[in-house]
Amino acid sequence: MGMRLPALAGALALTLSGAAHAAIYDLAADWSDASNPNGVWTYREGSNALGHVSDWYGSTLYSSGTAQPAWATGVATGAFLPAVFKATSGGADNRISCCGANQNFLKGDIVAHTTDGFNGAAFGTFNILFTAPSDGTADISGLLWNARIIGDRPQGYSLYVDGVLAASGAIAGLDRDHALTFGAPSAMLAAGDTVMLQLYRTGSTGDFVGIGMTVDFTPTIGGAVPEPSTWAMMLVGFAGLGFASQRRKKPVAVAA
């Protein structure tokens, strides 16, 4: 029995290691202008990955004329939405100077522009897709705000976890300092399952929406992670085995 105990203890250690360390996937930190899909992230219109343009919106996006790379449907008039980019330039107080009025995002922010009947009508709804790299648990959280406050241009969002609506709401009159929070905690995902954040207009006109999104993902190795009560029972069992093993090791007196 003494030889079996280390093996059993090793088995317990292996089981305890079944829940691997969490990885935090951050939309802004993970951003790429080189590839789409980009690891776990895909920037899309409908079910299609967006293409890349080296200078979306041209010199009119920033007062400095700084180029803005983006994932978009193109640059042609009436057909350059939806689009999404990581802001490359800033103005006073690091506020971006764009589009003539009430801009509301900072250098380094992720900003999308939704479609409307005037621009991008032929394309699908903008969305960001996260694809689970393995079985695991995902804690999804984020911020959304109107990245340009210009008249009545309300936008909306929907968050889907493996195709099931988990949250939705309106984005209207929200500046960066008063952003809407969204999320879905403890979502169980299998490898290849998806989390989709969809953005769209709720009025007649699309507009800029600022996005912050993170997925705190804990992969599961070798099946589901046992419940706390299961851990307790296992530990008690191993403690009992250890006690029994020690008793059997006591020397036995031999009659003279």
* Amino acid 159: pLDDT: 98
Q: Strands 110-113, 83-86: parallel, antiparallel or unpaired by DSSP?
A: antiparallel
| Long-range Cβ pairs for the range 87-92 (8 Å, 24+) | 87/111, 88/62, 89/62, 89/64, 91/62, 91/63, 91/64
pLDDT band at 102 (very low <50, low <70, confident <90, very high): low
Q: Which of 2-16, 118-132, 195-209 has the lowest mean pLDDT?
A: 2-16
Buried b (16+ CB within 10 A) or exposed e, 200-239: bbeeebbbbbbbbbbbebbbbeeeebeeeeeeeebeeeee
Give the pLDDT band of residue 254 (cuts 50, 70, 90).
very low
Please report, to the nearest 10 degrees, the dihedral formed by the alpha carbons of residues 200, 161, 86, 95 taken in order: 70
* Tens-place pLDDT, residues 64-89: 778 899 999 999 999 999 999 999 87
Tokens 């993902």, located at residue: 217
d(CA 86, CA 245): 62
The DSSP code sequence of 173-235 is S--GGGPEEEEEEEEEE-TT-EEEEEEEESSS---EEEEEEEEEEEEBSSSPPPPHHHHHHHH
Q: Lowest-pLDDT range, 8-22, 70-84, 97-111, 156-170?
A: 8-22
163-to-135, 139, 141 alpha-carbon distances in Å? 16, 16, 17
pLDDT band at residue 227 under the 50/70/90 scheme: low
Instruction: Provide the CA 16 distance to its chain's centre, in angstroms.
Output: 27
Going by pLDDT thresholds of 50, 70 and 90, the confidence category of residue 90 is: low
Name the band, by pLDDT with cuts 50, 70 and 90, for residue 94: very low
pLDDT confidence bin for 59, thresholds 50/70/90: low
